[in-house]
Structure 1
Amino acid sequence: MTNQPHPPSPTPAPDLFTWEFAADPYPAYAWLREHAPVRRTELPSGVEAWLVTRYGDARQALADPRLSKNPAHHDEPEHAKGKTGIPGERKAELMTHLLNIDPPDHTRLRRLVSKAFTPRRVAEFAGRVQELTDRLIDQFAARGSADLIHEFAFPLPIYAICDLLGVPREDQDDFRDWAGMMIRHGGGPRGGVARSVKKMRGYLAELIHKKRESLTAEPVPGEDLISGLIRASDHGEHLTENEAAAMAFILLFAGFETTVNLIGNGTFALLTHPEQRERLQRSLAAGERGLLETGIEELLRYDGPVELATWRFATEPLSIGGQDIAPGDPVLVVLAAADRDPERFADPDVLDLGRRDNQHLGYGHGIHYCLGAPLARLEGQTALATLLTRLPDLRLAVESADLRWRGGLIMRGLRTLPVEFTPVR
Structure 2
Amino acid sequence: MGVVSMEKQMQTFVSTLDKYLTASDIVQSVDGCISCGMCGQACAWFMETGDEKMHPKNRSDFIRQVFRRYATVRGKVLGALGMIPTPTVEDLRKNMSTYWACTVCGRCSLPCPAGVSNRRLYRAFRAAYTEAGLAEENPTLKAIIDNTRKVRHSFGLSREEVMAKPGLFLGYEDVEMPLDIVGAEYLFVCPAAGNTKIPELGIKGMKILNAAGVNYTVSSVVTDTGTEIDHIVVHHQLSKELLEEWEQDAERLQVKKVIVAECGCDVRTMYVEATETLGRPFKFPIISIDTIWEDLIATGKIPIEPIDESVTFHDSCYVTRLSGMGEKYRGLLKKITKDFREMTPNMEQNYCCNGGAGGMRMPENTEIRRKISRLKANQIADTKADLVTTPCAICYLNMKDITEVYKQATPEKRTARMFFEIL
TM-score (norm 2): 0.29
Q: Which has the higher contact order (CA 8 A, sep 6+)?
A: 1
The structure richer in helix per residue is 2
